[in-house]
Structure 1
Amino acid sequence: MTGGAAIAAVGVGGGLAVNAFADEATSDVSSSSGSETCYTLTSETTEGPYYIDADKIRQDVTEDEEGIPLTLTLKVIDADTCKPLRNAAVDIWHCSALGVYSGYESSGNGGGGGGNPPPTGAPTGTPTGEPPTGGPGGGGGGHAEPTDDERYLRGTWKTDKHGYVTFRTVFPGWYQGRCVHIHVKVHVDGTWTDAGYEGGHTCHTGQLFFDEKSVLASAEVAPYSTNAATRTTLDEDTIYPDNGHAGGLLYLKYNKRHIAKGVRAHLTLGVAPDETHDSTDTPPSASASAG
């Protein structure tokens, strides 16, 4: 993707899903004018070891994975001008309900699930430092080469003329050392071709986070309820910048009594399209510039 690398296409085409969150894009916009930044830049965070350069061009990344249906809508805008970025390539990838990443199934989920006995109460836990390098993680350690050909819960799609992109997936699970999260990248200045997306550069690498109430609700639903991995809360996580929506905390909508019916998540990503933020394996900075 970066530096002229091409993405192989698997079904480019089809209309983008209609977005239901058109008003959110302006909810955090300041009254700044002139040359001042009009929107808070979304925090850059680590890529983590399990990124696979997008070889699945699709909106529905679920495949046959079990879990609570999740519709994720992102709007990508230039944080300086608030103008939407159209035809940008957006990657998402995350673990399964049991904390396993496709392409890295041999790494397991960091100690829980996968046949271990289910927890006896609400999942909780205190992290013991950075995620272990031998299991899934979102922290340091550099990129790990895939160990299998599975690609569930991964995909790339393009933003529409209003900067929106929508994915269909499942609510992520958890693994030892990390809170529940989704990884995201935004690529600009490339070209969409019959082969996929070529050239350009990565202007944003970040993670999307879920509040504790939603995670605790999901933990009561199978197969999440069988995930015995020690869970790190949002406040305990070493990657979350602790700055709310600017740090990737998603807006969520769901039936609080029946979360199993599905969750709708959305967020505006304020990026600097002229900058390159393709990967970092150092702890993120919580400072995001605002107008």
Structure 2
Amino acid sequence: MIGAISTPVIIDACKKTSTDGSTTAGSGTAGTTTSTNGSCTVAPTETEGPFPTKTPASYVRSDITDGKMGYKLSIKITIGNINNSCAALAGAIVDIWHCDAEGNYSEYGGTGMQSTNYQSVHFLRGRQTTNTDGLVTFTSIFPGWYSGRATHIHVHVYNTAGISLSITQIAFPEGSGTALALVNGYSKGMSGYTYNNADNVFSDDKTGVEIATVTGSLTAGFELNFKLNVKA
């Protein structure tokens, strides 16, 4: 049974404020946005919180599951340099983190933001350095969801000197036959799910630059590919 979590504070913390000070919310519907990810464009900067990794340098690892159960997900992120025609950027430091199948984050909890207390564990968080092809690969599980947000993965990229280059979030394709539809919210289901077009982070991504390519099956697992271009 997927445990319920208290979410209003999480929703507020993740909201993207528009130029007039308003915010977006709502459950939305499965979108049909065509992803243009991989072209020489820069993904929007997004909020790092409310659950960033507290000491990311402590979790240099490719397998970030830490025993968490869920459908296998191989996460492949390629970093390109916008100042070099988006050619592969070697030596970039890439941190990722996401929630578990129940919608909970490690390193936090026991509060109104997340009732389940996971303060002493560090699952689904990791750091890798890009190879000569600008690629990092993580072994993880398919993220779950929590009220007010679409399924997503957080990404923070630094240069070799540790200077921040980009903080963004990765969205998942939606609609019939997609990995998101196959996973179907794990045991929680999709009732009350917030789709990308109503998510307060992704709703303004009209061209799909934040949407990854996700392939695979429930039995074999899934593979996510995402191109993130930064100014290095």
**What is the TM-score of this pair, normalised by structure 2?**
0.74
Q: Is the 8 A contact 1:61 1:169 kept in 2?
A: yes
Partner Cα separation in structure 1 for residue 104 and residue 38 of structure 2: 34
Q: How many residues align?
A: 188
Deviation at 1:249, TM superposition (A): 0.4
Partner Cα separation in structure 1 for residue 151 and residue 219 of structure 2: 17
Cross-structure match for 1:87: 91
1:269 aligns with 2:228: yes
For 1:134-149, what aligned pairs fall within 5 Å after superposition? 134-135=112-113, 148-149=119-120
Q: Is the 8 A contact 2:38 2:228 kept in 1?
A: no
1:159 aligns with 2:130: yes
1:242 aligns with 2:220: no
Superposition misfits of 4+ residues, deviation over 4 angstroms: none
Identity of aligned residues (%): 30
Partner Cα separation in structure 2 for residue 228 and residue 28 of structure 1: 29
Give the letter aligned to residue 152 of structure 1. F
Q: Is the 8 A contact 1:175 1:230 kept in 2?
A: no
Q: Is the 8 A contact 1:245 1:267 kept in 2?
A: no
- Cα 1:135–1:229 change in 2 (3 A) is farther
Cross-structure match for 2:172: 210
Unmatched tracts of structure 2, length 5 or more = 1-36
Give the letter aligned to residue 135 of structure 1. M
Aligned with 2:88: secondary structure?
A: coil
Write the deviation string for residues 47-106 of structure 1: whole angstroms up to 9, x where unpaired. Answer: 121102302110000111111100011110111312221111100000000000001132
Aligned with 1:189: secondary structure?
A: coil
Deviation at 1:226, TM superposition (A): 3.5
Deviation at 1:189, TM superposition (A): 3.1
Write the deviation string for residues 237-264 of structure 1: whole angstroms up to 9, x where unpaired. Answer: 0101323442x20011113xxx343111
Partner Cα separation in structure 1 for residue 71 and residue 130 of structure 2: 24
Unmatched tracts of structure 1, length 5 or more = 1-26, 30-38, 108-133, 137-145, 191-199, 274-291
Cross-structure match for 2:147: 176
Deviation at 1:44, TM superposition (A): 1.1
- Cα 1:95–1:216 change in 2 (3 A) is same
Give the letter aligned to residue 89 of structure 1. I
* Greater C-alpha radius of gyration: 1
Aligned with 1:80: secondary structure?
A: helix
**What is the TM-score of this pair, normalised by structure 1?**
0.60
1:62 aligns with 2:65: yes
Give the letter aligned to residue 79 of structure 1. I
- Cα 1:244–1:253 change in 2 (3 A) is farther
Deviation at 1:228, TM superposition (A): 7.9
Partner Cα separation in structure 1 for residue 143 and residue 207 of structure 2: 19
Partner Cα separation in structure 2 for residue 69 and residue 105 of structure 1: 24
Q: Is the 8 A contact 2:106 2:118 kept in 1?
A: no
